[in-house]
Amino acid sequence: MKGKIRKRLNQRGAALLYAVFAITAVAVLGTGIYYMTTTSTFSGLGANDRNRAYRLAMAGKDYAVAKNLENTSSTYPGGRDFTMSNGDKFRLDIKDDEITSTGIVKTGTPYEASQTLYVKIIGFSRSPDISFAKDIQAFTKPVESKTGLITTDTAAGKVSLGKITTGGGAWENNFGALWYRGNATQGDCTDGRCRFGKGFRAFFVFQINASVAGADGFTFTVFNGDTATNDAFSVGGDRDKGELMGYAGDSRLATGGYLDGITRTAAGCPTPLACAAGRGIQPPKIAVEFDVKTNNDLNDVCVADSRRDGDELPDPRNHVGYVFWGDNAASACDATIGANTYDDNRHNAGTDSPSDPRNSKRPSDGVDPSYFNADGAWLPKWLTIAPTNIYALRVEVTRGNAPNAGGNYEYTMKSWIKQCADLDCTNYGDASPFANTKIEYDDTLDPPTLKRTNPIALTPALHQIFDTFFFGWTTATGSSTQDILINRFKMNFRK
């Protein structure tokens, strides 16, 4: 009896032991299944993350090309990050023609994944945002007091200001402007109104016909695009006052009315300014003036010959200089809203304040590096004497986006003028640092021809108005005519 009981207990113990082994085995097996399932899941997630990272890298490369971004090495060592709202990002490392784009997901977690793409695009290092070569159709709508004063050769990619026609003498006492009217994504431009952002760099070649004497010249102008202030129909000028160069003045016509109002009306008054007339080009604005005629009157800003130009008599010199908007108070020239613009290219006008920066000074008013007459370097009529009357201008404007100690915003300007060997300026080709507006030009090796001693400091209100801008050229004639060729224009926005 005792043996049978002992046997049953042994059987029960063995069963219990088998049960323990079975439970343990199932647990181990379950753990293995869990481990394998989890590994498979993580493996799938990792593949998805790598795919997302690859797509981000592709997006980064496409973004760099679409925005025509500049080298990152000096400003963003190691690359420039662009972060999405969910924390994913792409990192761009750009050097000349080479773009390295890395997509990164789950940044800073144990599951971070990244993929890198490398692409080389020949010519990317000097690709302009806007140029005559690819955007000449955006420079075909001049605002002009006489049709044909400003012409665009879309086949050759060139612009003429006051082109002489058969018989000559067709363009006395006329004025006009040619503004960019395109939609470059790199500058967030819409119908020519572009985002000022950090500033821009521009380059073009020009020639003033040497066979035409006594003309007034032209300006390269940048003016604010505030919708309540200016639009693409804005233009200066005034009847027989060629010295205003289409930059200063209220656009008054000899035949009556105002050019800005007439062109707005003809276009159906399509902007917030409706059919407003007599506004001229309202400040803030900036221009490089190319002046080939001396207008020396010192007293009355409203009369002809009132620009306070160089007074190197008896042999006055051509000059180039920075002009802004003088004293913004209304002059007595007229009762229009544009009456404040009549001294806008008058030298030494302005108050040196954040509201009214001073225009460049002629030599007798004091030394000013923002005025250049080539004294001692070239002939007095250096802008018009053939065959050396072909030049290239490079201008760089840096716009500060943080206030200085005085609470104002600084604009730094530098410009260089070089003589060209021919109309294509082959001695400064597109691959040269001077003509490449995608890069900063080294002013330590080549000091600027024009430079403000101190940056322009604008009030917060004016800085806000200058958040967008239009750009292009203005010109005007008085009793004489001129023929100015503009070639190889290009511009890059600072990114």
Half-sphere CA count of 377, side-chain side, radius 13 A: 13
Enclosing H/E stretch for 240:
none
pLDDT of res. 135: 98
pLDDT of res. 75: 85
Find the distance separating the first CA and the last CA of the chain, reported in whole Å: 100
Provide the b/e sequence for 389-407 (b: ≥16 CB within 10 Å). Answer: bbbbbbbbbbbbeeeeeee
pLDDT of res. 212: 60
The span from the CA of 315 to the CA of 305, in Å, is 17
What string of DSSP letters covers 272-296?
TTTT--S--SPSSEEEEEEE-S---
Convert the pLDDT of each residue in 418-442 to its tens digit. 999 999 999 999 999 999 999 999 9
* Number of other CB atoms surrounding residue 388 within 10 Å: 15
Strand partners, 451: 414
Give pTM, 2 decimals: 0.88
Return the domain boundaries, the chain. Answer: 47-127, 128-493
Which residues of the chain, if any, have pLDDT below 50? 1-42
The span from the CA of 399 to the CA of 73, in Å, is 21
Nearest to 199 by CA among 473, 475, 456: 456
pLDDT of res. 313: 73
Q: Are 136 and 157 in contact (CB under 8 A)?
A: yes
Fold entry, domain 128-493: Jelly Rolls (2.60.120)
Nearest to 121 by CA among 136, 101, 144: 101
pLDDT of res. 387: 80
pLDDT of res. 39: 38
